Structure 1
Amino acid sequence: MDRVTIFLALQLIVSGYAFMRGGAPERLTAVALAGAFLLTLGLQSSMSARFVHVEFGILAVDIGLFGVLVALALYADRWWTLWVAAMQGLGAGAHLIKAIDSETIRVVYAILAAAWGYPIILLLLIGTVRHQRRKMQGGDLDWSTQAMRNQQRQVAGDHNI
């Protein structure tokens, strides 16, 4: 099996588990990661041209995913979402490196852009298992109560948050 097939299998297994057994942050992360992977497959260059220049299609997907993960990290009552957002930011930053220095070796660019996917999947798995354990012990809040209070105050018109 090649690395893309292995990654796809891991992604589908972990995202499926997170979607079925996780709380709202786990489910949203699973959908976002799976969607980003599928979009990346459709937008990436042909094998001979891949990572020779900045992959603008993948860059757009990575930045969009980064935005979703940062929003989750800000509102979710989970520690792992912070790490996932940071790792995705590093992966998206690989495109900036290639844009700054077009002489960056394509293998280095590819590794910097893609390598963060494996620890992100691992953190989603750990977060889902942890959610299940906390749920069995009596409950696990999906969203930060402070973030929700601030959101309610903002909707009510209190802009002094």
Structure 2
Amino acid sequence: MQISSQEWLGLAIMALSCAFAAWRGGRMERRTAAVIAAAWTFSILLDQDGHHGVQWRILAIDILLLGYLLHEVAFGKRLWPLFAAAAHGFVVLTHAAFFLDGRIQHWGFFTAYYVWSYAVLAALVGGAVWRPREQV
């Protein structure tokens, strides 16, 4: 398995974002940081040479992460998961677009994939920064 420089950069940004959310955030942010970190890690470990065809295992991980984020939207009391779920919905739609039209070049796919993934991380960090104080 060979990890590209773009994947290393993505891992570094994800690790810093999740570490910040775990340090500064509340329970929801810590839990979500752990789920996102696991999803990114498993996606890289299960990558089947991302330059050829639809990555079905990564799509499955992204759908599970979207389900988790939608659960936080439905049952949480914070606003940031709505933005994270919307952005991650676009990640899943990026997979669908690539499946439906193979003419999409891989660089376009990965650019959209990472842009929306970074938006999910931005929502998580924003949630950690602007969280209400928890009752002790």
Same fold judged by TM-score > 0.5?
A: yes
Q: What's 2:89 paired with?
A: 89
Residues 26-105 of structure 1 aligned to structure 2 (within 5 Å):
26-46=29-49, 50-105=50-105
Q: What's 1:118 paired with?
A: 118
Deviation at 1:3, TM superposition (A): 3.1
SS at match of 1:128: helix
Q: Would the alpha carbon gap of residues 94 and 51 (structure 1) be closer, same or farther in structure 2, given more than 3 Å must change?
A: farther
Distance in 1 (CA, whole Å) between partners of 2:66 and 2:60 is: 10
Deviation at 1:14, TM superposition (A): 1.9
CA offsets 1:112-152 (integer angstroms, 9 cap, x no match): 22221212112211110111xx31xxx47xxxxxxxxxxxx
Deviation at 1:97, TM superposition (A): 0.8
Identity of aligned residues (%): 27
1:14 to 13, 17, 34: 17
Deviation at 1:79, TM superposition (A): 0.9
Deviates more, 1:28-37 or 1:3-12: 3-12
Deviation at 1:76, TM superposition (A): 1.3
CA offsets 1:58-99 (integer angstroms, 9 cap, x no match): 111111111011101111111110010010010011111111
Distance in 1 (CA, whole Å) between partners of 2:74 and 2:51 is: 32
CA RMSD of aligned residues (A): 1.8
Deviation at 1:29, TM superposition (A): 1.2
Q: Is the 8 A contact 1:51 1:109 kept in 2?
A: no
Q: Which runs of 4+ in 1 moved over 6 A?
A: none
Equivalent residue letter for 1:35: A
Distance in 2 (CA, whole Å) between partners of 1:93 and 1:84 is: 14
Give the TM-score of the pair, scaled to structure 2: 0.87
Provide the aligned length of Structure 1 versus Structure 2: 132
Question: Which structure: larger Rg?
Answer: 1
Unmatched 5+ stretches in structure 2: none
Unmatched 5+ stretches in structure 1: 141-161
Distance in 2 (CA, whole Å) between partners of 1:8 and 1:15 is: 10
